[in-house]
Amino acid sequence: MTKYYLGIDTSAYTTSIGIVDQDNNIVCNERKLLEVKRGNRGLRQQEAIFQHMLNFPELMENISNAVDLKKIVSVSASTKPRDREDSYMPVFLFGEGQAVLISKLLGVKYSSCSHQEGHIGSILIADERPGAFLAVHISGGTTEILKVENDGKLKIDIVGGTKDISIGQLVDRAGVKLGLKFPAGKELDSYSVKGEVLGIKLSKSIDGTWINLSGVETELYRAIDSGEHSVEDISKTIFEYVSKVLEELLLNAVEKTGIKRVYMVGGVSSNSTVRSRITDYGDRSGIEILFPGAELSTDNGVGVAYMGKREMER
């Protein structure tokens, strides 16, 4: 009998509902990006929650038209950014409330996970090998290198990342400075394929598996303000820089932990330059580096649905 597992993720910038089946096939991957006014660098939590309220009925209508809801056996939601007691963000409460309500109406099990675990689930759905791996979570609000034990329940420890702004913030802030709409990663990616790397020096403040990025943010702002460089060349330079620092951080993390299996997750991992450069680096260095499909790198409900399936099968 076909069984469906539904997952909901209401993050800071995307409303998402996903469904997977008992064989880990992706049945539905409904998403809608929240609207940010041009020139702004984000949304207040109450603004994001209001947009989730507007988006959710539309996405749920699409889901109900695509599948037989009676075949859903579990409903799950991401309820906080990380799997830590002090991790909290109000925007996730909307998705949690909807998931609990739907599970009660359907008479099925409800479970929760963190937003970060949902990202990891987006790649585990295609690679369920047990044991330890490194997960590099690079998104709009997070840049963390994680040591993950995959033996039943995920055990996650932070072993590196950024000490100030995230890589995603660096990308989005530079994009807004260039006059692009927030979040700017996808548009910068399209510009970067036509650009050349600028001959400007960008600082690399790396300490083992940790990095500071506020200095390079200032340097990029200076290059943009000079008016001497095209959007295409600045975009290319940003993603080449990001790829280079990720290579160095990855090498240091592998040496620190002894783990040579790496999963790249989060929105920045959907960037074409990053995917190409880091994949090539893995081939050259003997590190196994895997990416989810580009559609599962950004925020989604599929990984959350998969984590709910894992919980039900435990």
φ and ψ of 26, to 5 deg? -85, 115
Q: Can you tell me the distance from the alpha carbon of 307 to that of 153, in angstroms, rounded to the nearest whole number? A: 10
Amino acid occupying residue 52: H
Q: Is 87 exposed, middle or buried (0-12, 13-18, 19+ CB in 10 A)?
A: middle
The SS3 call for residue 119 is: helix
What is the pLDDT at residue 1? 87
What is the pLDDT at residue 66? 97
Q: Which DSSP symbol is given to 181?
A: P
H or E segment and range at residue 155: strand 153-162
Q: Can you tell me the distance from the alpha carbon of 169 to that of 299, in angstroms, rounded to the nearest whole number? A: 15
pLDDT tens digit string along 112-124? Answer: 999 999 999 999 9
8 Å CB contact between 5 and 84:
no
Nearest alpha-carbon partner for 27 in 1, 59, 56, 5: 5
In angstroms, the Cα distances linking 139 to 166, 183, 195, 271 are 7, 11, 23, 11
Percent of the chain past pLDDT 70, that is, above it, reads 100
pLDDT tens digit string along 18-39? Answer: 999 999 999 999 999 999 999 9
**H helix runs in the chain, sequence order:** 45-66, 91-106, 115-124, 167-177, 185-192, 214-225, 231-257, 272-285, 294-297, 302-313
pLDDT tens digit string along 77-88? Answer: 999 999 999 999
Q: Can you tell me the distance from the alpha carbon of 205 to that of 219, in angstroms, rounded to the nearest whole number? A: 13
- Mean residue pLDDT of the chain comes to 97
Transcribe 218-246 into DSSP letters: HHHHHHHHTT-S-HHHHHHHHHHHHHHHH
Q: Is the pLDDT of residue 152 over 90?
A: no
pTM: 0.96
C-alpha torsion sign, points 153, 307, 113, 312: negative
What is the pLDDT at residue 22? 98
Per-residue pLDDT band at 249 (split at 50, 70, 90): very high
What is the pLDDT at residue 131? 96
User: What is the side-by-side order of every strand in the sheet holding 109-113?
Assistant: 26-33, 14-21, 4-10, 72-78, 109-113
What is the pLDDT at residue 88? 95
Which positions ≥6 away from 146 have C-beta within 8 Å?
A: 116, 120, 134, 135, 136, 137, 156, 157, 158, 159
The SS3 call for residue 290 is: strand
**Mean pLDDT of all residues in 228-249:** 98
Percent of the chain past pLDDT 90, that is, above it, reads 97
**Mean pLDDT of all residues in 149-158:** 94
What is the pLDDT at residue 86? 93
Which positions ≥6 away from 165 have C-beta within 8 Å?
A: 173, 213, 214, 217
What is the pLDDT at residue 42? 94
Beta bridge partners of 114: none
Q: Can you tell me the distance from the alpha carbon of 259 to that of 147, in angstroms, rounded to the nearest whole number? A: 9
What are the chain's domains?
A: 4-126+297-313 (3.30.420.40), 131-291 (3.30.420.40)
Per-residue pLDDT band at 314 (split at 50, 70, 90): confident
